[in-house]
Chain A
Amino acid sequence: PVPCMPPGAGQDVGRSCILVSIAGKNVMLDCGMHMGYNDDRRFPDFSYITQNGRLTDFLDCVIISHFHLDHCGALPYFSEMVGYDGPIYMTHPTKAICPILLEDYRKITVDKKGEINFFTSQMIKDCMKKVVAVHLHQTVQVDEELEIKAYYAGHVLGAAMFQIKVGCESVVYTGDYNMTPDRHLGAAWIDKCRPDLLITESTYATTIRDSKRCRERDFLKKVHETVERGGKVLIPVFALGRAQELCILLETFWERMNLKAPIYFSTGLTEKANHYYKLFITWTNQKIRKTFVQRNMFEFKHIKAFDRAFADNPGPMVVFATPGMLHAGQSLQIFKKWAGNEKNMVIMPGYCVQGTVGHKILSGQRKLEMEGRQILEVKMQVEYMSFSAHADAKGIMQLIRQAEPRNVLLVHGEAKKMEFLKQKIEQEFHVSCFMPANGETTTIFTNPSIPVDISLGLLKRETALGLLPDVLKPQLMHGTLMMKDNSFRLLSPEQALKELGLAEHQLRFTCRVHIQDPRKEHETVLRVYNHLKGQDYSVQHLPDGSITVESILIQATAHSEDQGTKVLLVSWTYQDEELGSYLTSLLKKGLPPSSS
């Protein structure tokens, strides 16, 4: 049985955190924060896990799937403030980028919002020291029984799916993944590992998306048209992830079309992050991997660092600026400057939370009230362009088909949408599907196969008797099952006896058959011999007056009282039970009248 409990991310998006217990090993998958809350609810409730004991004693390891804060944001709090000293596993790019984001997050919360009792920079550093980095497809032995393996997941640089395996029970956790490749990352891939449980995200459980080509083409066309008109394009983005995809998209387009208008990227976080994108080329898609020898695609030719002063430059330009929802910072400043000109354009590449400027302009508001009662009239064009890197319903189904799990568990999504997907999964794959709420424990019953070692000698002997071993057909074999020190072995009886130091006992059945035969004993024996000779066994008449049929011994003696009755003694070992009982019944029917 595999009990599984999400302290976060159960029927919810944000603060991903799932506890899995598999064959006695406890693993925590992801340790995220929730964007929507600023109080205690922003971190998963770790008191669920152990009522009072230490986390380190309870958890065998922690696995982080990728660097988004809703998957790793609570990590320093968890390891340093709650207290966990065990190993934390993540991929190399995640390990590199994660601390940058955590530091950024800390700065905003502590320095800007002035919160106290938050983790410190030192805590982030200490936390990262506990991290063990893994490579793709590398099997890492956490301890003697627990092993984990990372698969490529797309989504963002370094995102991975993890297979957790103890003995022959296994769980796959997908984290966030993307089944369609984009301009800088490939598609998620997993082999047919047939896990007992697949824990998958389900953000887009009820969506089937259009081809990304249309989106890309639309985006490029809009940017191109505006630039040709001499307008300026503002693209508010978050520092990591989509920003790089859009950069690559624009960079290659500029290259292809020989365009000259400058593209700027607001500096800071992004520059650092771009550095890591340059380094982890192996994690990107086919095109970038193949061409990086000539030129690393992340060494942008057309994209330069942005400076405040450039915003007032005349002529066309494209600017990527943070943050993505136009609620503060540089992107908002530039927006204010450019909003008045109808030649300009702002492209929102993602979702905007209610209350932000981004949301307002997207819902068609043309007059915005800014701080200080200023009214800003928006004349520039506003475009919306969704570039999301989660798998859609089809993609989720495709992954399930690839991995062929026995059970599926949905997390990281809305309950209503999950319900639909759950129904579909059960209907089409005939596997059971679960969707626990936060704090609810689901136990999955597995049917583990138990490996048994067989001695080579025995195997060879048995296969020599029968046909070749066949996966599909069960086969009968004689042997002794030994259970010793937590291991199972199948041995030949002799070897088992030897190993256990036991003497061999033989079990023999004997049976007396009375036959009316007035003749002498040896003649009776001869008659019996002639009678049995007809069968297709090796029948031998031994000099001492007994008969052997294979290993069965038959002796004849005269009855002590009645000389006319001969007693046939039939004796066989229990291995030859079948033949022995057959012979007895044959003899009981009596001998045929002898011709001689």
Chain B
Amino acid sequence: MAAHLKKRVYEEFTKVVQQQHEDLSSKKLRLTKPSKSAALHVDLCKATSPADALQYLLQFARKPVEVESVEGVVRILLEHYYKENDASVRLKIASLLGLLSKTAGFSPDCIMDDAINTLQNEKSHQVLAQLLDTLLVIGTKLTDNPAVRMRLVDVACKHLTDSSHGVRNKCLQLIGCLGPVEKGVAKDVESQAAKDVQKIIGDHFNDQDPRVRTAAIKAMLQLHERGLKLQQAIYSQACKLLADDYEQVRSAAVQLIWVLSQLYPESIVPIPSSNEEIRLVDDAFGKICHMVSDGSWVVRVQAAKLLGSMQQVSSHFLEQTLDKKLMSDLRRKRTAHERAKELYSSGEFSSGRKWGDDAPKEEVDTGAVNLIESGACGAFVHGLEDEMYEVRIAAVEALCMLAQSSPSFAEKCLDFLVDMFNDEIEEVRLQSIHTMRKISHNITLREDQLDTVLAVLEDSSRDIREALHELLCCTNVSTKEGIHLALVELLKNLTKYPTDRESIWKCLKFLGSRHPTLVLPLVPELLSTHPFFDTPEPDMDDPAYIAVLVLIFNAAKSCPTMPALFSDHTFRHYAYLRDSLSHLVPPLRLPGRKLVSSPVSPNITPHEDPSQQFLHQSLERVYNLQHLDSQGIQELLEFTIRDLQRLGELQSELAGMADFTATYLQCQLLLIKALQEKLWNVAAPLYLKQNALASAAAKQILEETYKMEFMYSGVESSQVVIIHHMRLQAKALQLIVTARTTRGVEPLFGMCEKFLQEVDSFQRCFISELPHMQGSFVDKLLDLMPRLVTSKPSEVVKILQTTLRQSTFLHLPLPEQLHRATANIIEPTGESDNPLRFTSGLVVALDVDATLEHVQDPQGTVKVQVLYPDGQAQIIHPKPADFRNPGPGRHRLITQVYLSHTAWTEPCQIEVRLLLAYNSNRSKASAKMPKSTWSENLEALPQSENGIEGTIPFSKPVKVYIMPKPARR
């Protein structure tokens, strides 16, 4: 039972990678029978009733049809179409026509005439609509033929007067997708219909059916997307549509107005019922703002989203969006925001404790109060208070975008953003914190605002707290009280949630380095030093004390007077922290102490880093070598590799580059060693040792090349070619080794052929790079290619061996930026001695928290591997939602891994590690090939057959103590 359960668990929680492509391809091969159309014909003739025919057609539609027989099938379908009386069958045939003309490689112009002809006699509206849809498919396949497009548009225009909304809908869609975009073309063509597509579509803005109205607006938008410049005259029409009864019409109209406002921002439109005129973008902005209080939330979301991208709007209008005149019993009242600001500026802290504190003051002129403003008034106030969180999020996003482009607006919207920190939905809170971070360079927080912001630090959600720490890293605080407040709240947070340690320290580091002058007066208080008395030395391991020190040391970096305030133990603690937490504590110029890290010698220009120079020098030394056979050179290589590795450890910014080159040199070294002549001349019975060495080397080189290709971000094609070249050499080595160990020739045939294919595909992929590879292995190989193809395997092996040995050593050019993907598992820590107990056969969830750096597309590539003590390994694909993106190049994986096992007698450790999955098909080399659908891919890319999927472990394994207990019976 338990085993069964476990199996089920695995089925549910581990995703199986399905090799569906191969399945489909094999099916496809089977289908290549020419009798397809004939079979269909027979089937259709056999059909006695429309229902039967429909069944046949449905079955037929399930299988793909190969390109050659499409036309035949179409003919048969059409023939049957004319005979058919039942509308539903005709409908299905029409839809099949569309489906068939989508077939890749088939040019549908031959069936266009027939399709248009069928339109003429069709009575059923549904079939008509379907036929138009088919024409649309045909038209989109033949976009480069203007005459065809014109003809189709003509046909569509003719059917625009149809009484069915479905037909009109399709006609408009067709005109939108195929209507002429260039002005010039339209003039030569005689058809009057195609002359002014915009007018034709515009006429249908007043259609009686809302679906047709929507389709008309959508068609207009489609034209815009295809590059047609819409006329400004449409604007007034679109404005009328904003008051439509149907939400989809309003939603589309909002989009149209937005498009027009981006096209003609500066043109002037009159305000109805007055003589004034305003800029179109302002008018449109006002109208879209109005839609933020629409009755339908779909429209509200749409409107709120679009507001964000209207950056040309004048600031006067923009600031209105946050304006809401309050009043109580007809007297003007100040908003809470205004009151807070006033209290703050008058020097008093917000009391808010008096009743009538908010008592209304001045009388309002009843005539002047405008309850429904025509303009943008209060749009965001409404949007942020909306019932649906979708609208609120959209509003926050829009605020963010507008504030980024306008500092004064950023200052104004601050109060509202801060208010959003208390939203009931976590997503909204998070979004507003992120928004605030994005605009933080434009703003300085007032103390009362900071107070509200800091209150959120107690939130129980980790995401919220961390987002808030990120925010604090880059906020400007105006007073020393603010800094003190922030520190106190952060320490409170630290005691409540000790796991936030790292994040809080980091936050304080930035807070300190940004506000050195504000921290300075706080130092004595923070360190609790006393002018006369010695105070007890604080505990060095207290995270809160470390937090305070991080703040102070970072502030001291740009404030040289600060160290004078430190007491003796502070200096000692500095030395300790500088070593143990070097990423948080900066080097300080302390009295009586040498600055450790920068012995700056004057003759080096500042941007020429000595370590970078060292890297280049040592590489140059290596690259000057031509042949690498001698013992001394091997030693040189070994030393260089060692140097590079050490350099990578010391200089984190050069780590990527140093490791990358070291790996490359390592591969080269392995290759040389494996090819040493002495060993190969040994008599046959002594091959054994040599074989083992060489095949191990080849295997390792292969592995390393995959690492080089997939683990580094910033690798360019000039590196990829060298990596692939190295891999090719390794494969050649493999071939040689196999040739020497296996008896008989048959297996070799296949291998040789495969190898030659690989050489071929290498040549095709990197044809542009070949000129740079003079004298290399592949260069020589390609010269010998005609000979290789014709010769026997044994000869091929011999040739390979000599070329391998004679080929020159290729230089690896270094790209600008190269980063190695790294992962660090924060949780589980692997320190716990308490085993995780659970009943065998059931599952236990293990929380995994890891940071990833420089991983491209982590959702697709990062996996979690769990290794059980019995050698069983399990790979888990985390959900895409488990990855957060806190900053560029950084990712955070917070996921749960489900563990299960049969009962153990005693607790044991399992290993958890992260893997980077790769697929050589998706490599950077093949990405350069023109993109093609999978069906073409199969024929076009021979290399995909030997595409290798694999994984690279890229984090240190973490041990977790677990104990599956036997289930109680």
Structural contact, A364 and B355, CB atoms closer than 8 A:
yes
Structural contact, A210 and B371, CB atoms closer than 8 A:
no
Known: A187-B387, A206-B330, A420-B366. A214 touches B424 (CB 8 A): no
Chain A residues with Cβ below 8 Å from B372 are: 394, 397-398, 401, 428
Expressed in whole angstroms, the minimum distance between the Cβ of B361 and any Cβ of chain A is 14
Q: Is A169 an interface residue (CB 8 A)?
A: no
Contact with B424, one of A187, A215, A287 (Cβ below 8 angstroms): A287
Known: A208-B327, A364-B355. A468 touches B387 (CB 8 A): no
Kindly state the separation between the CA atoms of A24 and B360 in the bound complex, as whole angstroms.
47
Interface string of B167-187 (1 = CB under 8 A from A): 000000000000000000000
Chain A residues with Cβ below 8 Å from B370 are: 428
Structural contact, B459 and A257, CB atoms closer than 8 A:
yes
Q: Is A96 an interface residue (CB 8 A)?
A: no
Residue pairs across A and B with Cβ atoms less than 8 A apart, 11 shown, are A190-B295, A207-B328, A208-B326, A210-B324, A211-B336, A216-B422, A252-B424, A257-B458, A257-B460, A401-B372, A470-B208
The interface-forming segment of B62-70, B114-122, B215-223, B378-386 is B378-386
Kindly state the separation between the CA atoms of A398 and B416 in the bound complex, as whole angstroms.
22
Known: A211-B384, A256-B460. A189 touches B295 (CB 8 A): yes
Chain B residues with Cβ below 8 Å from A186 are: 387
- A-to-B contact residues, CB < 8 Å: 180-181, 183, 186-187, 189-192, 206-218, 220-222, 224, 252, 255-258, 285-287, 362-364, 381-384, 393-394, 397-398, 401-402, 417, 420, 423-424, 428, 463, 468-472
Kindly state the separation between the CA atoms of A180 and B388 in the bound complex, as whole angstroms.
11
Kindly state the separation between the CA atoms of A298 and B439 in the bound complex, as whole angstroms.
38
- B-to-A contact residues, CB < 8 Å: 161, 163, 206, 208, 245, 293, 295, 324-330, 333, 335-337, 352-353, 355-356, 366, 369-372, 378, 381, 384-389, 416, 419-420, 422-425, 452, 455, 458-461, 496
Chain A residues with Cβ below 8 Å from B378 are: 394
Chain B residues with Cβ below 8 Å from A428 are: 370-372
Structural contact, A471 and B371, CB atoms closer than 8 A:
no
Expressed in whole angstroms, the minimum distance between the Cβ of B829 and any Cβ of chain A is 23
Closest to A216 in B: B422
Known: A189-B295, A258-B460. A211 touches B419 (CB 8 A): yes
Closest to A400 in B: B372
Chain A residues with Cβ below 8 Å from B356 are: 384
Kindly state the separation between the CA atoms of A213 and B415 in the bound complex, as whole angstroms.
11
Chain B residues with Cβ below 8 Å from A255 are: 460
Chain A residues with Cβ below 8 Å from B335 are: 210-211, 214
Known: A206-B328, A417-B329. A394 touches B384 (CB 8 A): no
Expressed in whole angstroms, the minimum distance between the Cβ of B246 and any Cβ of chain A is 9
Chain B residues with Cβ below 8 Å from A212 are: 385
Kindly state the separation between the CA atoms of A180 and B293 in the bound complex, as whole angstroms.
11
Closest to A361 in B: B355
Structural contact, B389 and A287, CB atoms closer than 8 A:
yes
Contact with A363, one of B208, B329, B355, B458 (Cβ below 8 angstroms): B355
Kindly state the separation between the CA atoms of A221 and B448 in the bound complex, as whole angstroms.
12
Structural contact, B459 and A256, CB atoms closer than 8 A:
yes
Structural contact, B326 and A362, CB atoms closer than 8 A:
no
Contact with B458, one of A215, A258, A382 (Cβ below 8 angstroms): A258
Expressed in whole angstroms, the minimum distance between the Cβ of B404 and any Cβ of chain A is 23
Known: A210-B326, A424-B369. A221 touches B385 (CB 8 A): no
Structural contact, B327 and A207, CB atoms closer than 8 A:
yes
Structural contact, A382 and B355, CB atoms closer than 8 A:
yes
Structural contact, A472 and B206, CB atoms closer than 8 A:
yes
Kindly state the separation between the CA atoms of A181 and B327 in the bound complex, as whole angstroms.
20
Closest to A186 in B: B387
A-B pairs, top 5 by smallest CB distance, nearest first, are: A214-B336, A181-B387, A213-B419, A384-B355, A257-B458
Instruction: Kindly list 13 other residue pairs between chains A and B, CB separation below 8 angstroms, not including A210-B333, A256-B458, A362-B355.
Output: A208-B327, A208-B328, A211-B335, A214-B336, A215-B336, A218-B336, A257-B460, A381-B353, A393-B327, A397-B371, A402-B295, A469-B208, A471-B208
Kindly state the separation between the CA atoms of A490 and B384 in the bound complex, as whole angstroms.
53
Contact with B385, one of A181, A384, A424 (Cβ below 8 angstroms): A181
Interface centre among A214, A217, A364, A468 (most CB of B within 10 A): A214
Known: A192-B245, A207-B327, A256-B459. A468 touches B353 (CB 8 A): no
Closest to A414 in B: B329
Structural contact, B388 and A286, CB atoms closer than 8 A:
yes
Chain B residues with Cβ below 8 Å from A220 are: 422
Structural contact, B163 and A213, CB atoms closer than 8 A:
no
Contact with B352, one of A208, A218, A252, A362 (Cβ below 8 angstroms): A218
Closest to A185 in B: B387
Contact with B163, one of A191, A382, A384, A468 (Cβ below 8 angstroms): A468
Known: A212-B385, A287-B389, A469-B208. A217 touches B163 (CB 8 A): no
Chain A residues with Cβ below 8 Å from B416 are: 211
Structural contact, B324 and A208, CB atoms closer than 8 A:
yes
Closest to B415 in A: A214
Closest to B388 in A: A286
Chain B residues with Cβ below 8 Å from A252 are: 424
Kindly state the separation between the CA atoms of A183 and B387 in the bound complex, as whole angstroms.
10
Known: A218-B336, A286-B388, A382-B355. A424 touches B459 (CB 8 A): no
Chain A residues with Cβ below 8 Å from B336 are: 210-211, 214-215, 218
Chain A residues with Cβ below 8 Å from B452 are: 217
Closest to A224 in B: B455
Expressed in whole angstroms, the minimum distance between the Cβ of A481 and any Cβ of chain B is 24
Structural contact, A287 and B330, CB atoms closer than 8 A:
no
Expressed in whole angstroms, the minimum distance between the Cβ of B296 and any Cβ of chain A is 9
Chain B residues with Cβ below 8 Å from A213 are: 384-385, 419-420, 422-423
Kindly state the separation between the CA atoms of A423 and B370 in the bound complex, as whole angstroms.
11
Contact with B327, one of A187, A191, A206, A383 (Cβ below 8 angstroms): A206
Structural contact, A183 and B424, CB atoms closer than 8 A:
yes
Interface centre among B327, B337, B381 (most CB of A within 10 A): B327
Kindly state the separation between the CA atoms of A392 and B416 in the bound complex, as whole angstroms.
20
Kindly state the separation between the CA atoms of A362 and B370 in the bound complex, as whole angstroms.
33
Closest to A402 in B: B295
Closest to B374 in A: A428
Chain B residues with Cβ below 8 Å from A221 are: 455
Structural contact, A383 and B371, CB atoms closer than 8 A:
no
Kindly state the separation between the CA atoms of A212 and B422 in the bound complex, as whole angstroms.
11
Expressed in whole angstroms, the minimum distance between the Cβ of B572 and any Cβ of chain A is 36
Contact with A286, one of B325, B330, B387, B419 (Cβ below 8 angstroms): B387
Chain A residues with Cβ below 8 Å from B460 are: 255-258
Structural contact, B206 and A209, CB atoms closer than 8 A:
no
Expressed in whole angstroms, the minimum distance between the Cβ of A82 and any Cβ of chain B is 37
Expressed in whole angstroms, the minimum distance between the Cβ of B462 and any Cβ of chain A is 12
Expressed in whole angstroms, the minimum distance between the Cβ of A155 and any Cβ of chain B is 14
Interface centre among A210, A217, A220 (most CB of B within 10 A): A210
Closest to B340 in A: A214
Kindly state the separation between the CA atoms of A426 and B378 in the bound complex, as whole angstroms.
22
Chain A residues with Cβ below 8 Å from B325 are: 208
Contact with B161, one of A189, A216, A217, A468 (Cβ below 8 angstroms): A468
Closest to A420 in B: B366
Structural contact, B496 and A211, CB atoms closer than 8 A:
no
Structural contact, A383 and B353, CB atoms closer than 8 A:
yes
Kindly state the separation between the CA atoms of A206 and B330 in the bound complex, as whole angstroms.
5
Chain B residues with Cβ below 8 Å from A189 are: 295
Closest to B328 in A: A207
Closest to A213 in B: B419
Kindly state the separation between the CA atoms of A468 and B165 in the bound complex, as whole angstroms.
12
Chain A residues with Cβ below 8 Å from B369 are: 424
Structural contact, B371 and A424, CB atoms closer than 8 A:
yes
Chain A residues with Cβ below 8 Å from B461 are: 256
Kindly state the separation between the CA atoms of A145 and B354 in the bound complex, as whole angstroms.
56
Kindly state the separation between the CA atoms of A482 and B147 in the bound complex, as whole angstroms.
55
Closest to B455 in A: A221
Structural contact, B326 and A209, CB atoms closer than 8 A:
yes
Structural contact, B208 and A287, CB atoms closer than 8 A:
no
Structural contact, A180 and B385, CB atoms closer than 8 A:
yes
Chain A residues with Cβ below 8 Å from B459 are: 256-257
Structural contact, A211 and B389, CB atoms closer than 8 A:
no
